[in-house]
Structure 1
Amino acid sequence: MRLHRNLVFAVIDGLHLIFNENEYADKVVEKLLKRDKRWGARDRGFIAETVYDIVRWKRLYAEIAEVKEPFNRENLWRIFAVWAVLRGYKLPDWKQLEGTPIRRIKGRFDELSKNRVYRESIPDWLDKLGGKELGTEIWTNELAALNAQADVILRVNTLKTTKEKLQGLLFDNNIDTAFIKGYPDALKLKERTNVFTTEAFKNGYFEVQDASSQLVGSYLDVAPGMRVADACAGAGGKSLHLAALMENKGQVISMDIYGNKLKELKRRAKRNGAHNIETREIDSTKVIKKLHGKMDRVLIDAPCSGLGVLRRNPDAKWKLQPEFLEEIKQTQQQILQDYSRMVKPGGKMVYATCSILPSENQDQVNKFLKTEPGQEFKLVKEERILSHQSGFDGFYMALLERKS
């Protein structure tokens, strides 16, 4: 395996932006991949996967390299050298890699791997919190699963095609997929590839959506003709799924405090052929009040720590701070109490997060049920999805029904 200078320099530039400029890894990678039009799929794959890999294992690699933040250019090269040695690359005779202590790197890796915070590359405070909330055994297993590379999962848009037809179309494009038992609309890619350039994607036949996330729409128990609110819609992955489950009949009101995300949803809805989606920006409390007691179903896909999706957003564990976690829990509770008022008597609501912490999940639901608006609801069922058990993202869902 050979290292190519222009690709490695792109990786170093990307790491500088993520670690020192606090930019988001996905945005940085997106920019890097547009740097040179001559790069092929393998070149772009190397850049993306190497950047994510080093971000994922930042603490371990920095400790082995004996460097501390903020990382200067030389520090970043030392971290890269650790990655390359542990991945089995033959180091070229570049001045940036001179004097790399190969045997010492391997020895330090073996030594540090005995300690969970280095082996799983996690901040101390977060490791303590996870162990406290989930217990040592579950937290240890979950961390290992969340450090594995995520599979690429597609959700078939049943407004336009079937799972079987889409599988055949993709196969004709040399993209091999598999069905996943228990996930009716999902296809898993057998090998990673860029699916966004396919005609099937451009025609709105599928969206990329993790298998765990696909369960949320079904959990809400929607039917054609209902009025449904997706109260924290973002760019609308779940709104699109709800529209498909409702067969384009009825109304999906997709709401968010960020108008730019709703613009993206409109674009996606057009491509998907989802005509029953209406977007509303939550720019005042009036937007919610107008819908009090009028919705058959309400989905609250609440803002959260994102600890269940570290496989695809590994930089989140370095950006997350204890203060933010406390703030987001207050926000979650406020959203539950305010947005639940949209559910009409006899209607249902799902509270969901992509977190695995009980303090963001079960505890929030239990706390809500004791509040004045919460006393009108009963908990029908709840489900905790752990990555080491499912093989997919960590998730939580609770179905609540408003008493008639």
Structure 2
Amino acid sequence: MNSARSVAVEVVKKVLYDNAYSSIVLNKYLNKFDLNKKDRALITELVYGTLKYKYTIDCILKNFIKSNLEKMNKDILNMLRISICQLRYLDKIPEFAVVNEAVEFSKNISFKLSKLVNGVLRNYLRNKSNSFGGNKEDKIEGICFEYSFPRWMAELFINQYGEDLGKFIMGSLNVVPKVTVRINTLKTDYKHAWNELIVNGYDVKRGNVYKEAVIINKGSNIELNPLFEKGHITVQDESAMLVSYFMDVEENMTILDLCSAPGGKSCHIGELMKNTGNVHCYDLYESKLSLVRHNAERLGIKNITCKKLDAAKYLEKLKDTADRVLIDVPCSGLGIIRKKPEIKWNKKEDSLKDLIEIQRKIILNAARYVKVGGKLVYSTCTLNKKENEENINWFISRNPQYKLDKLYCGDFHNIIYHEEGYMTILPDNHMDGFFIARLIKQR
């Protein structure tokens, strides 16, 4: 049974129970079956909507199912989840059709369970105007229900940023992201690429922050477009573009990118250096380095070399060799949830301590690779201050030979410039959440 909803159920199950990445498994299943454009769009909406609003959906289901949800048949539970998602957050399909599809799907598993599905969904529709948020005296629980975030994550945002900004962050992380591309100036110019995108049927607008960015409002899969295939454009968020921009590179420099895969920032650096100098790309996994090589080849970047390396382990031969070092360190990813909603459910609070330990090992190693007068850029795609500001302050206190270099790229509603010099990019309709710090080695 390859209906849109049955495919969505399978994808959600893989993500929630097999720790699959939503984008990868979704593309796999979309290509596996002969689906029309309408069904592909519906499956994508259902998968990302269900993962995004899982907390709220499960709270609703608990009002109608008294047993432990996680002990239920996984296919039945996920069909209920995507059905509630449709009924609550989508309005393209009539309610009766949503219920009937769910019941028919469930009959293939168990006639008895199909009655449960029918009863739960019809009961929800009779009571959909009710508040399902649980304990009205628990403010955090109400926020978790409204924005559909696990409690520890909601508390992290509110405790670190205050209630208003914390809500803004969570609301922005629920926004459906637009695709943003960067113009590759080695192969084309902005005006030509812009016009070609319009000719190819794309609704576009200029990027908000970075001069070579184009936001795709509407259009077909950009990676199947000739401009992408020829390397004239590449998909990259504006926040990530700013990381390479703040590397402050010059032609003929030696650059180390210690956590380079999949290569977006490495290739951007190579482009900014106009294919001069050397960009040495390292990553822990050889398989991921193949992505860097593939991107570099497509974009015509010729000053990149790739090699396997554990950035958390010091390598003596790299000492004092680099004009610039980039460490886009492994992080909790709390700033990119709008693109990877499964982060809400596959990240655990306890795991953050291990990440911070790894991040600190990496920055200590990276600092030894920078030449005197050179610069070290630290970036993450998280908004957890323990992985960001606290790590940089910890490093500076132990390495007085480094000083922070102030960052600035203009006044924008979602960019926070800290007194110390580093910056936080809050997620909004067009940008991911990021943190960037640039340090200069003085002696």
Normalising TM by the smaller chain, what interval? over 0.9
Distance 2:388 2:2 in 1: 46
Decide whether the 8 Å contact of 2:157 with 2:169 is kept in 1.
Answer: no
Q: Which amino acid aligns with 2:61?
A: A
Q: TM-score, normalised by structure 1?
A: 0.93
Decide whether the 8 Å contact of 2:259 with 2:311 is kept in 1.
Answer: no
Shift of 1:337: 0.5
Distance 1:402 1:137 in 2: 37
Decide whether the 8 Å contact of 1:19 with 1:70 is kept in 2.
Answer: no
Aligned to 2:85: 83
SS in 1 for 2:350: helix
Aligned to 1:54: 50
Shift of 1:111: 5.1
SS in 1 for 2:281: strand
Shift of 1:98: 2.9
1:26-45 map, 5 Å = 26-37=23-34, 39-45=35-41
Shift of 1:103: 3.1
Aligned to 1:370: 397
Shift of 1:49: 2.1
Which sits farther off after the overlay, 255-264 or 86-95? 86-95
Aligned to 1:318: 345
Q: TM-score, normalised by structure 2?
A: 0.85
CA gap 1:185/1:106 in 2 versus in 1, 3 angstroms: same
SS in 2 for 1:359: coil
Distance 1:284 1:84 in 2: 44
In structure 1, which of residues 371, 380, 383 is the aligned counterpart of residue 405 of structure 2? 380
Where does structure 2 lack aligned partners over 5 or more consecutive residues?
107-116, 407-421
CA gap 1:27/1:5 in 2 versus in 1, 3 angstroms: closer
Q: Which string of whole-angstrom CA distances, capped at 9 and with x for unpartnered residues, describes residues 41-60 of structure 1?
A: 33212212210110010011
Distance 1:354 1:301 in 2: 8
Shift of 1:296: 0.4
Decide whether the 8 Å contact of 1:133 with 1:359 is kept in 2.
Answer: no
SS in 1 for 2:33: coil
Give the CA RMSD over aligned residues.
Answer: 2.1
Distance 1:195 1:327 in 2: 37
CA gap 1:306/1:105 in 2 versus in 1, 3 angstroms: farther
In structure 1, which of residues 247, 255, 268 is the aligned counterpart of residue 295 of structure 2? 268
Shift of 1:22: 2.6
Decide whether the 8 Å contact of 2:46 with 2:86 is kept in 1.
Answer: no
In structure 2, which of residues 195, 201, 220 is the aligned counterpart of residue 193 of structure 1? 220
Where does structure 1 lack aligned partners over 5 or more consecutive residues?
none
Distance 1:7 1:103 in 2: 22
Aligned to 2:111: none
1:2-401 map, 5 Å = 6-37=3-34, 39-66=35-62, 68-72=69-73, 73-86=75-88, 87-88=90-91, 89-90=93-94, 91-92=96-97, 93-94=100-101, 95=103, 96=106, 98-99=118-119, 100-101=121-122, 102-104=124-126, 106-108=128-130, 115-282=142-309, 288-371=315-398, 374-381=399-406, 382-388=422-428, 391-401=430-440
